[in-house]
Amino acid sequence: MDKSATKCFGLIGDPIDKSMSPALFRAGYGGKYRYDLITGSDFEVSYKRFLDSYDGINVTAPFKENAFRKAGSSDQASKRIGASNLLVKTDDGIMAYNTDYIGIQMSLLKAAEGSGHIWRRALIAGCGGAGKAAAVAAGDLNLETVIINRTIEKAEEFASRLPQYGFKVKGPDAFPECFRQADVIIYTIPEKTGELGLLDRSDFKGGRLRCRTKYVLEANYTRPSFDEGLIGRMHEANPLLKYISGKEWLLYQAVGGYGIFTGEQPDSESMRGILDQEG
């Protein structure tokens, strides 16, 4: 019997009912492995299901920081970020990884490929697990990075752990100004906030150095806060602005993560096909 056929993987988080991860995983391996949505709002319950029945799990909001704390060991990205989106059973215990980090960088670099654009400043909206990954990813791209979070103390504690990046922390009132000055905006807040409604045409044009092209990457692909109306307003004000769907982030973090799960590279073209089918 092929032992690989007995391997089981899944996703924990809440809510996850609209997640594309099962379809992506099936496409990546042609149905060779099982992949489930492990639904539930209680992290401890979902984590126990992982321990009892699964070889590895993806982790999404709001469980990424809990997952990191549970692991016995972790990769360097998880250690800096303090959050994990992937847990794997090993002979030495539970290992935590953070493939959001590479997913963010790849999404931005692919969107800008061949453009010659120079980024100076990034705005990170939110400081949960995804926001922390975005801040570290931006910092490692040598961007001056501002983190905006409703609970300023949480963001300040995170920034203080990583003084090498020089993260600046501000409250929601600074959102329009920071959006206007940034060349790269990474929006990781799970829901649409009132601050998005305060943006006007001048905020969509250029960055701090009046770079005409602005890049907006959003984490949430199932219920995006940047709806068609807002994206239309942004493009009307700045035709060179590039909105990057969270599906890009999902794809790039999944390709790396699934390879960690199985030891086999998934079929990324088939995975891309699933995303294209969903529009």
- Are 69 and 125 found together in one domain? no
- Are 13 and 84 found together in one domain? yes
- Are 113 and 204 found together in one domain? yes
**Tokens 């949505």 label which residue?**
37
- Are 62 and 111 found together in one domain? no
CA–CA distance, 244 with 218 (Å, rounded to integer): 7
In 3D space, the residue among 25, 73, 35 whose CA is nearest the CA of residue 55 turns out to be: 35
- Are 114 and 176 found together in one domain? yes
84 beta partners: none
CA–CA distance, 22 with 128 (Å, rounded to integer): 24
- Are 115 and 219 found together in one domain? yes
- Are 112 and 52 found together in one domain? no
- Are 26 and 66 found together in one domain? yes
Q: Are 102 and 252 in contact (CB under 8 A)?
A: yes
CA–CA distance, 207 with 184 (Å, rounded to integer): 8
Q: What is the pLDDT along the chain (279 residues), one digit of tens a residue?
A: 344 457 999 999 999 999 999 999 999 999 999 999 999 999 999 999 999 999 999 999 999 999 999 999 999 999 999 999 999 999 999 999 999 999 999 999 999 998 877 889 999 999 999 999 999 999 999 999 999 999 999 999 999 999 999 999 999 999 999 999 999 999 999 888 999 999 999 899 865 555 578 999 999 999 999 999 999 999 999 998 999 999 999 999 999 999 999 999 999 999 999 999 876
CATH of the domain at 189: 3.40.50.720
**What pTM does this model have?**
0.93
Domain limits at 74? Answer: 3-98+248-277
- Are 272 and 232 found together in one domain? no
- Are 68 and 86 found together in one domain? yes
- Are 183 and 230 found together in one domain? yes
- Are 49 and 24 found together in one domain? yes
Q: Which residues form the catalytic set?
A: 64
CATH of the domain at 271: 3.40.50.10860
* Cβ contacts of 196 within 8 Å, gap of 6 or more: 225, 226, 230
DSSP secondary structure, 157-179, as one string: HHHHH-GGG--EEE-GGGHHHHH
Total structural domains in the chain? 2
